[in-house]
Amino acid sequence: MLDQLRNRPHRELTRWIETPMFVILLGSVLASGSLPLALATPAPTWTGGTERFAAQTSAQESPVTPQPHRTKVAEGEYAVIEEANSGAVGPFGEEVYDFHELWTMWRAEAGGYEVEGQRRFESPRNTPHDDSFSVRLSRDLTVIDMTEFAKLRWNEDSGPLLCRFLATELRCSSGGSPKNHVERQIPMKRPFGLLWPVSAFSLSGITREADVDPNRGTDVELASIEQPSKENPVEVTILSGKLRYLGAEPLELAGEKWRARKFSLKVPLHPEFLIWGSSQGLLLSVAVEHGHQNWPEEGMKLVRFHKFADF
């Protein structure tokens, strides 16, 4: 499958995810109903390993179930910035435009967090979408599972779309009737995440496994889930990448001052991605590095944020 990816036209390979998912980047952009996008990794070696494994096992057996008692901790908005490619983000044929993700986060009574929100974008251009989504997160804000209330692009008898992030497997299902049900179980190594579609809450998860020595990198696996045709409604491509911790630096964003953790992500056939996250694990910004200052800005940012309680 990697050979097939290498043989694709340069335009398709070098889009912003060609762009963060960045990784990039993001809950999931569904171009006319794409599978949920989320990056997730197993628990960091320094905290929460047992909890993470238990959460993943539970997620395998039951979908998202909102807790009856929960505490609202934050709300915000992410926006994709794409000044090249006429504003298009994503693989050829699945481009999205003017992507915004509005969300609210709660601390669940049983531990961990729940996120509910809306993804608003155009795909194709001038065709608006407003898709609801929900995400379950562990205590360290890595994704347990994600639900997108949308349909597959080539299958009207589908939805909601669900992806579960297990210890060594990414499991996604299309919903719908048994006759047209599509399910993919993809063995993954640790840590792993999604390259496409875009999901903000999945992006920072992969950084929780990074080696904190700037002189050493962490090997990661990234899955790109696309919807090529009616005959091939779901296609998964796996790429290897290298994640490196670059240190901490101050960052002012969304009206707040942060002490951000900065990472570099390198994936074959893609430009370098830079990722900034808060010490709590919240994604702050993603940028695409092209090697010269005059290249148009590409990436994703937290553009609005309000905190109601510590998390």
What pLDDT is stored for residue 296 in this prediction?
A: 84
Minimum mean pLDDT range among 47-56, 106-115, 236-245, 264-273: 47-56
The whole-model pTM stands at 0.76
Whether the pLDDT of residue 85 is over 70: the answer is yes
Q: Give me the mean pLDDT over the 203-224 stretch.
A: 83
3-state secondary structure 227-271: CCCCCCCCEEEEEEEEEEEEEEEEEEECCEEEEEEEEEEECCCCC
Whether the pLDDT of residue 256 is over 80: the answer is yes
Cα separation, 125 vs 127, whole angstroms: 6
Q: Give me the mean pLDDT over the 113-130 stretch.
A: 92
Q: Which residue has the higher pLDDT, 41 or 210?
A: 210
% of the chain residues with pLDDT over 70 = 78
The domain containing residue 151 runs over which residues? Answer: 2-307
Whether the pLDDT of residue 16 is over 90: the answer is no
Confidence grade of residue 60 (pLDDT, cut at 50, 70, 90): very low
What is the total count of domains within the chain? 1
Q: Give me the mean pLDDT over the 50-54 stretch.
A: 35
Confidence grade of residue 255 (pLDDT, cut at 50, 70, 90): very high
34's tokens: 């794409």
Confidence grade of residue 7 (pLDDT, cut at 50, 70, 90): very low
Cα torsion through 195, 111, 52, 213, rounded to 10: 70
* Burial (CB count <10 Å: 0-12, 13-18, 19+), residue 138: buried
Confidence grade of residue 68 (pLDDT, cut at 50, 70, 90): low
pLDDT digits (tens, 9 = 90+) for 159-202: 898 999 998 999 999 999 988 888 989 998 878 877 777 878 88
Q: Give me the mean pLDDT over the 40-50 stretch.
A: 33
